[in-house]
């Protein structure tokens, strides 16, 4: 498997940079002057998607401007919308969103809304096609619309252009990468806002099978990140849980969501983000690096299929990493240490339903399987071991799939996934309760509204957009302080998910939610209806079962009585 690393947003870009470092470090300047090819360890390819052009151009110097042919490059997707064009004006006048805004509004709903607006507003789709054609995008031989794809009938310029710059690195566009690893932080606006729309976009393009993995770094608790990221804890947690929600509920979404918790890294490295990023890079090497053992060379497609085998929603993976100096018979110690001290996210290893283990060094797969099986109770056939030739230490990266659930008191124990996610949900709900006006980009003295340059965010949502956001969060019942989210909407789903986590139910997020609904005309129903109808049926069944359980009945005994 050869992955294309796509970092999105600030943290995503910094971690991506670790993967793309030039092997030829000492001669970087000479390499540039002579135009020598940039070679990363393991020949990894990648790209950085960012929303803040001024940061990308002036604050960092690793990535160059991809549109000027630089590699490694950054790309600013909203640059694809011509400034002051009819597209720009249409979205602003009808909805109030400024799609050209530099540095995004720091919440996940902003980009979700914009993606869905382009996805649903037919008038905008026609306008976009006309404008982009008139500025020559259709026939251009360079730039984001040039990758042999031309312009679509219903363009979604921000996400089309982003996919078009990624595609050439993938086997879908003639490149070598047979999978994509997106790296984002769960907590900002750019990474959390972009990750779901871009995966939706890839899947909607008919790329149902292309292997897509997400490495999501959860924002830490406390106020350290407030300053660094200009966003308070509650808001960061709402952004984080919104992104995780959308990732978990799209049944044909990512093939695996790998979770890393900044809070775990705080304990290891204090407040040094660069140390976190280097460590995340190191921990992923057994999965990402080349030099597989002969006969153990997984292709992206097999990896993706195995990751999501037997589960109907994108699975969560917790990585556990350990490395130690080479020694004879290291297997027992490697597995024990990884389980004890190597978790990168809270979890209960015994609850995992499957595991993949990546090792580097002279390591015996059968022994790894036997030790991991005896420690976790997982059947050996549910443990897939892949080995690579290592250079220095022995290393192990265990990825445990869905290691949570079926334990009603787990949420009370520190160090479990239930406990961590319940905290995130509670912080997000408290934030909604206390800052409801911020969901509509309103309210006085909301310091979160200040952007980096000190200017306030000039979003003035129209009644149409406000109504859509209100419906999305609170459903028909609307917002009522200290008493919202009782029957429907995202707030309800969050409360219900917290209830599930507390009672040990798996999974905890169930139903996809949109801000702007698709026109449910017949054609649309035929196209997307099947999945939605199944979900509706599932929901009805679930509600019926719940009510029956409250009455001490079950579907089975009713059927039996009926007979």
Beta-sheet pairing, 3-8 with 64-65: unpaired
Of these, 18, 119, 121, 220, which contacts ligand GTP (CB under 6 A)?
220
Report helix angle 490-503 to 417-434, nearest 10: 150
Least Å distance, CB 324 to ligand GTP, is 24
Judged by CB under 6 A, the number of residues near ligand GTP is 26
Q: Pattern 117-136, binding to ligand GTP, x per CB under 6 A?
A: --------------------
Which part of the chain contacts ligand GTP (CB under 6 A), choosing from 94-102, 183-191, 306-314, 515-523? 183-191
Closer residue to ligand GTP, CB minimum distance, 161 or 231 = 231
Q: Pattern 228-257, binding to ligand GTP, x per CB under 6 A?
A: xx-x----x---------------------
Give backbone dihedrals phi and psi of 244, rounded to 5 degrees, phi first: -65, -40
3-state SS of 5-16 is EEEEHHHHHHHH
CB 6 within 8 A of CB 47: yes
Which part of the chain contacts ligand GTP (CB under 6 A), choosing from 159-167, 226-234, 360-368, 462-470? 226-234
Q: According to the binding rule CB under 6 A, does residue 262 interact with ligand GTP?
A: yes
Q: According to the binding rule CB under 6 A, does residue 404 interact with ligand GTP?
A: no
Least Å distance, CB 218 to ligand GTP, is 8
User: Torsion angle, CA of 305/309/315/321, rounded to 10 degrees?
Assistant: -70
Q: According to the binding rule CB under 6 A, does residue 319 interact with ligand GTP?
A: no
Give backbone dihedrals phi and psi of 330, rounded to 5 degrees, phi first: -85, -5
CB 168 within 8 A of CB 147: yes
According to CB under 6 A, which residues from 97 to 116 bind ligand GTP?
103-104, 106
CB 276 within 8 A of CB 265: yes
Give the burial string for 302-322 (b: 16+ CB within 10 Å, else e): ebbebbbeebebbbbbbbbbb
Residue 314: name the closest of 368, 258, 233 by CA: 258
Of these, 17, 196, 237, 277, which contacts ligand GTP (CB under 6 A)?
277
Which part of the chain contacts ligand GTP (CB under 6 A), choosing from 3-11, 361-369, 436-444, 551-559? 3-11
d(C-alpha 125, C-alpha 156), whole Å: 7
Residue 277: name its binding partner from ligand GTP, Mg ion, none (Cβ under 5 to 8 Å by kind).
ligand GTP
Closer residue to Mg ion, CB minimum distance, 129 or 217 = 217
**Contacting positions for Mg ion (CB under 5 A):** 9-10, 190
CB 424 within 8 A of CB 261: no
Beta bridge partners of 454: none
Residue 200: name its binding partner from Mg ion, ligand GTP, none (Cβ under 5 to 8 Å by kind).
none
Give the DSSP H/E element, type plus range, for residue 137.
Answer: none
Q: Pattern 6-25, binding to ligand GTP, x per CB under 6 A?
A: ---xxx--x-----------
Q: How many CB atoms lie within 10 A of CB 500?
A: 18
Q: According to the binding rule CB under 6 A, does residue 314 interact with ligand GTP?
A: no
Give the DSSP H/E element, type plus range, for residue 296.
Answer: none
Closer residue to ligand GTP, CB minimum distance, 190 or 242 = 190
Q: Which residues bind ligand GTP (CB under 6 A)?
A: 9-11, 14, 51, 103-104, 106, 185, 187-191, 217, 219-220, 225, 228-229, 231, 236, 262, 273, 276-277
């Amino acid at each position: 498997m050869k992955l294309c690393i796509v970092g999105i947003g600030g943290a995503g870009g910094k971690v991506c940079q670790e993967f793309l470092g030039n092997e030829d470090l000492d001669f970087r300047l000479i390499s540039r002057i002579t135009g020598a090819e940039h070679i990363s360890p393991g020949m990894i390819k990648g790209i950085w998607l960012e929303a803040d052009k001024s940061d990308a151009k002036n604050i960092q110097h690793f990535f160059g401007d991809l549109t000027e042919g630089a590699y490694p490059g950054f790309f600013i997707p909203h640059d694809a919308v011509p400034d002051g064009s009819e597209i720009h004006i249409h979205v602003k006048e009808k909805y109030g969103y400024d799609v050209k805004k530099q540095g995004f509004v720091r919440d996940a709903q902003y980009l979700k809304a914009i993606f869905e607006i382009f996805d649903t507003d037919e008038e905008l789709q026609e306008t976009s096609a006309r404008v982009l054609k008139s500025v020559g995008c259709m026939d251009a031989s360079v730039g984001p619309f040039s990758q042999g794809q031309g312009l679509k009938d219903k363009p979604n310029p921000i996400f089309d252009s982003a996919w078009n710059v990624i595609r050439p690195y993938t086997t879908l566009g003639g490149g070598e990468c047979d999978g994509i690893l997106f790296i984002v932080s769960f907590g900002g606006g750019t990474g959390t806002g972009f990750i779901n729309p871009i995966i939706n976009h890839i899947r909607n393009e008919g790329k149902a099978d292309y292997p897509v993995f997400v490495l999501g770094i959860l924002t830490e608790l406390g106020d350290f990140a407030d300053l660094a990221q200009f966003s308070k804890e509650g808001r960061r947690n709402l952004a984080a849980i919104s992104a995780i929600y959308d990732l978990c509920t799209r049944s044909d979404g990512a093939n695996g969501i790998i979770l890393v918790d900044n809070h775990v890294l705080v304990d290891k490295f204090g407040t040094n983000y660069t140390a976190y990023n280097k460590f995340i890079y190191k921990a992923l090497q057994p999965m990402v690096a080349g030099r597989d053992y002969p006969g153990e060379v997984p292709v992206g497609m097999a990896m993706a299929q195995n990751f999501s085998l037997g589960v109907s929603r994108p699975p969560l993976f917790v990585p556990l990493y350990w490395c130690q100096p080479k020694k004879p018979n290291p297997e027992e110690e490697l597995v024990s240490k990884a389980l004890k001290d190597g978790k990168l996210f809270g979890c209960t290893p015994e609850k995992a339903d499957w595991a993949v283990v990546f090792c580097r060094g002279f390591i015996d797969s059968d022994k790894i399987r036997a030790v991991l099986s005896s420690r976790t109770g997982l059947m050996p056939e549910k443990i897939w071991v892949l080995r690579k030739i290592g250079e220095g230490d022995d290393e192990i990266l265990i990825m445990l799939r869905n290691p949570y659930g079926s334990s009603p008191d787990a949420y009370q124990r520190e160090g479990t996934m239930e406990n961590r996610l319940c905290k995130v949900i509670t912080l997000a709900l408290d934030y909604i309760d206390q800052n409801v006006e911020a969901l509509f980009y309103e309210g006085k003295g909301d310091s979160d509204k200040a952007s980096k340059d000190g200017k306030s965010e000039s979003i003035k949502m129209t009644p149409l957009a406000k109504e859509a956001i209100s419906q999305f969060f609170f459903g028909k019942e609307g917002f009522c302080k200290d008493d919202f989210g009782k029957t429907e909407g995202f707030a309800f789903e969050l409360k219900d998910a917290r209830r599930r986590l507390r009672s040990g139910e798996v999974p905890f997020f169930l139903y996809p939610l949109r801000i702007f609904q698709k026109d449910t005309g017949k054609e649309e129903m035929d196209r997307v209806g099947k999945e939605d109808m199944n979900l509706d049926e599932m929901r009805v069944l679930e509600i019926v079962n719940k009510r029956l359980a409250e009455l001490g009945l079950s579907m089975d005994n009713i059927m039996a009585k009926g007979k």
